[in-house]
Every structure is written in structure tokens, then in C-alpha cells.
Amino acid sequence: MTALLSKLLLPTLNRACVCPSADGRTRLYRLAAVCFGMMCILQVILNISLKLAFCTGRVVEQRDMGVPTRTLLGCIEGWRLSGSSCYFLSTERKTWEESRQDCLERGADLVVVNSRNEQKFLTGLNRNIDSVWIGLTDRETEGTWKWVDGTPLATRYWGRNQPDNGAVFVVHIGEEDCVEINSGYSDPVNKWNDIACNSQFNWICERVI
């Protein structure tokens, strides 16, 4: 595209820039202004062409790597946009680790909840599903909750009497190291529950855009 534009515009520039010496200073200035203006237009067109070529290359690169590319309007089909992230709600159930692996294969990770507004969005997203995995765990150190991106837990939205590490269900005592959003809690926001990581639930992936 750049080569074609050069072939089309450069001859015109050459003709416009042949400035006769005998036509007076005014005509000379006018021709110089025309030459300068056409050069500016050519530069703008070339810049746009380079940007389009770069963006196309990035899209092809991401596609070849198996990473879904987002549309100009926000998120790819099957994902929901909220704030600066795209969210994917699964339609099947897996363990916490299997769910995270699915997110990674989609170029994302299990969701990290950073604000009350995000938590409210997530509870609305899964309102028709009993439980969904989020990217919070204390498997590394009991009682020290961390997100999948390595950041420590700061804002908490635990359901009533949670986390309890399996105190209610004797079979899970000391083994509840992963976190779900459980729609069974009546509180509209505080719905986190720690539960055994080998339980099988739906999950929510997040990809920052």
C-alpha cells in the first residue's frame, strides 16, 4: 500500500515542485506552500498505513498464538465487558485447578475481584448458577489468601461465618482452600465461601484489555 501511494503521489509532487524562477516571488511562495502541503498529506497517509500494518500484524500474531483477539467494541463473542476487563462464564463444571487451566488456555485467568462494583457485576453474571470459582486460594499458606496474580487479599466479600475451612462439613475440615461465589447467601454482595478445591463448579475467567 505504501509503495502504491508513493507511485501515485510522488510524480504529482515533482510536477508541483518545479518552481520557475521568472514568475515572481509570490508564485514561488505559492508553489512552495502547495509542495509542503502535499508532503504533509503524504506523511499522514504513510503514518496511517504503517499503523494499520502494525495492528494487523499484532492480530495475526495473537491469532497464531491461540489467544482470542477482542473486537473494536470490546470483547470477543461469548465474553462480557465491564470496566477494563472481559469476563467469561463457563457452561460446564470443573475443579478449581481445571477451571484455571481453561482460563489460561483462553488467554485469561480466574477472575480477581478488585472492587465492590466488580463483585456486584460478578454476582449478577452468575445469578442463575449456584456456585462459580474465582481466582482466590490459600493453598500455599493456610489462612493467607492470595489471588492467582500473586496479590494478597485486600477487599473481602465473605459470606456469613466464612471462611471456616470446613468447620461445617466435617469431611472438608482443613481442606477448604479455594473460593467460590455462592448464590445461596442472601446478602447481595457478600457471597464468598471457601470450599475444597476438588469440588466441581462453573467458573469465571477475566482478561484485562
Give dist(CA 207, CA 85) in Å, integer.
6
| Contacting residues for 5 by C-beta, under 8 A, at least 6 apart | 42, 45, 46, 49
Gap between the Cα atoms of 83 and 92, Å rounded: 25
Instruction: Please give the model's pTM, rounded to 2 decimal places.
Output: 0.65
Residue 7 Cα to chain centre, angstroms: 40
Query: Can you give the pLDDT of all 209 residues of the chain as single tens digits?
Result: 545 445 544 455 455 445 455 556 677 777 777 767 777 687 878 677 655 554 444 444 444 444 444 454 589 999 999 999 999 999 999 999 999 999 999 999 999 999 999 999 999 998 889 999 999 999 999 999 999 999 999 999 999 999 998 766 545 555 899 999 999 999 999 999 999 999 999 999 999 99
